[in-house]
């Protein structure tokens, strides 16, 4: 049973309610902020749409396989993800709903997309055609997406059949510097250094895989009542962009990036 790290220190009654079987958790839909109804004119890839009025929409909260045009080399299942998304939304009226910040730095709309009652992000994850990739300014709905992702991974649907998307061991994270990864391991220790918290996964902090929580992130954790420094000895799964090969680091900005196993 997995639960997002923000649940680790919740009172016992709330924690008991959250530790329901994953299928029951996954069946619930988050209470997103309602938005406008629009028509989809084109599908760029498994995670981006073009509206009939030429505005662009990024499916917030997921990382779908990228096509070659975007990243030089196509990721496995990029065409399959695009084809499924086209079947779900192309030419249809959809509703945009919101979980936080509504625009990215490129001016794209950041939205959760619904076709009737069908949640498009949830469907892409359920089919194994996207990974959860949450952001500090768009956190609503992440627990439900993680539950769906876990079921898809256990069933080896879509991308979860391909080594390209495998969950990495902490001691091999450095091989994947510069890419989005999901990494698992046991926390060896934690340390505060110049206002930053480092969560280390090996005995030698100079070379071991680590998580880094900068002051803004620590404030978010404290606001949720979570002491990230208390993860010592825990086995966790973390997701994000791996930076550096000699001392690989994932910058953690919000609690939902970490799952306690």
Tens of pLDDT along 247-259? 999 999 999 999 9
Q: Two tokens at 218? A: 């620590």
Residue 21 reports pLDDT greater than 50: no
Closest by CA position to 2, among listed 143, 200, 122: 143
User: What distance in Å separates the CA atoms of residue 200 and residue 211, rounded to the nearest whole number?
Assistant: 7
Domain assignments of the chain as residue spans, ordered by start:
33-160, 167-260
The 3 state secondary structure assigned to 64-118 is CCCCHHHHCCCCCCHHHHHHHHHHHHCCCEEEEEECECCECCCCCEEEEEEECCE
Contact 136, 220 (CB under 8 A): yes
Count how many Cα atoms sit within 13 Å of the Cα of residue 54 in the half-sphere of its side chain.
0
User: What distance in Å separates the CA atoms of residue 22 and residue 15, rounded to the nearest whole number?
Assistant: 14
pLDDT of residue 245: 84
**Rg (Cα) of the chain, in Å, rounded?**
18
pLDDT of residue 246: 86
User: What distance in Å separates the CA atoms of residue 252 and residue 247, rounded to the nearest whole number?
Assistant: 16
pLDDT tens digit sequence for 171-180: 999 999 999 9
Residue spans of alpha helices (H) in the chain? 12-18, 22-27, 68-71, 78-89, 120-126, 142-154, 215-223
pLDDT of residue 127: 98
Fold classification of 33-160 is OB fold (Dihydrolipoamide Acetyltransferase, E2P) (2.40.50)
**Residue 89 CB: number of other CB atoms within 10 A?**
22
Confidence of residue 69 (pLDDT cuts 50, 70, 90): low
User: What distance in Å separates the CA atoms of residue 121 and residue 84, rounded to the nearest whole number?
Assistant: 12
The predicted model gives 108-124 an average pLDDT of 97
Contact 208, 191 (CB under 8 A): no
CA distances from 176 to 1, 100, 109, 160, 185 (A): 27, 30, 29, 17, 15
CATH match of 167-260 with 3.40.50.300: no
Residue 30 reports pLDDT greater than 70: yes
User: What distance in Å separates the CA atoms of residue 60 and residue 133, rounded to the nearest whole number?
Assistant: 8
Q: What is the value of pTM for the model shown?
A: 0.86
User: What distance in Å separates the CA atoms of residue 195 and residue 61, rounded to the nearest whole number?
Assistant: 28
Residue 1 reports pLDDT greater than 60: no
pLDDT tens digit sequence for 196-240: 999 999 878 788 999 999 999 999 999 999 999 999 999 999 999
CA-based angle 152:158:164, to the nearest 5?
105
Considering the chain, what is the average pLDDT of its residues? Answer: 89
């Amino acid at each position: 049973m997995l639960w997002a790290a923000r649940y680790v220190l919740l009172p016992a009654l709330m924690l008991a309610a959250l530790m329901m079987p994953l299928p029951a958790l996954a069946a619930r839909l988050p209470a997103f902020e309602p938005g406008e109804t629009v028509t989809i004119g084109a599908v760029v890839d498994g995670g981006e749409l073009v509206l009939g009025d030429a505005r662009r929409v990024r499916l917030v909260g997921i990382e779908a396989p990228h096509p070659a045009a975007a990243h030089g080399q196509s990721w496995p299942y990029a065409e399959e993800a695009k084809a499924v998304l086209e079947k779900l939304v192309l030419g249809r009226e959809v509703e945009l709903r919101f979980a936080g910040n509504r625009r990215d730095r490129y001016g794209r709309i950041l939205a959760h997309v619904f076709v009737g009652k069908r949640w498009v992000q949830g469907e892409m994850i359920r089919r194994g055609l996207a990974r959860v990739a949450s952001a500090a300014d768009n956190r609503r709905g992440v627990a439900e997406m993680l539950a769906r992702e876990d079921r898809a991974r256990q069933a080896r649907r879509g991308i979860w059949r391909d080594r390209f998307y495998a969950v990495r061991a902490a001691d091999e994270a450095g091989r994947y510097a510069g890419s989005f990864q999901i990494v698992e391991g046991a926390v060896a220790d934690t340390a505060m250094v110049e206002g930053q918290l480092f969560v280390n996964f090996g005995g030698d902090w100079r070379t071991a895989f680590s998580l880094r929580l900068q002051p803004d992130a620590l404030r978010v954790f404290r606001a949720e009542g979570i002491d990230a420094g208390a993860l010592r000895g825990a086995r966790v799964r973390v997701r994000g962009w791996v930076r550096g090969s000699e001392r690989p680091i994932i910058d953690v900005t919000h609690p939902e990036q970490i799952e306690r196993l």
